Amino acid sequence: MFNILYNEDIEIDMVNLFVYINQFTKSIGETSVVLDPSKCRLILLGMRQDLPHVDGMDRASCFKKIANFVVYFIAERPIQNPFSEKNIGGDLAKLSNHQNSIIALQIAIDGLHGATIYRNEKESLEIKTRIELSKHSYVDLIDSLQTATVQTHYKLLTILLEQLVYKTNPDCQYPVMRL
């Protein structure tokens, strides 16, 4: 994630975001994507200035940072046109704002792969295995994210992403408690 987002210079993040969106949309067959650069700048500024973490951006976990980006991206809707049904399938194409939810979630999945979890001053763990989802869960997740906002989805998405990482990286999980 940190090679895509949350660099010291917002201009680096802008370039990384544009390149990522271009490469991803080409890979799924989209050839004409309308992207609003001013909304992208607002997203990148907002996710830094308003990260809802008591200790600030520098002390926030990779899960909090990426969840914050995801909800900002989806709420701002920088990708103006929907993806075609032939490229994403009917289940996703019928969802409003699917294009922004798909891109934001994909950035989260790619960004968390290889990220570092810091437990304390002495312990750090690498997320070695990518998040994996069934197609059914993926469609449901895109559906649930299409109207995401920082106020309503940030904390829940943070926990969900953390648990999805732990599903494929059990060595990264905190000790579990029986409920």
Q: What is the reported pLDDT for 78?
A: 99
Q: By CB neighbour count within 10 A (0-12 exposed, 13-18 middle, 19+ buried), where does 62 fall?
A: buried
146 vs 148: CA distance, rounded Å: 6
Q: Provide the 10 A C-beta neighbour count for residue 122.
A: 6
Rg, Å, the chain Cα set: 16
**Are 47 and 12 contacting, i.e. CB atoms less than 8 angstroms apart?**
no
Domain boundaries, the chain: 10-172
Q: What is the mean pLDDT of each run of 10 residues along the chain (179 residues)?
A: 79 96 98 97 91 73 94 98 98 97 98 92 92 98 94 94 98 93
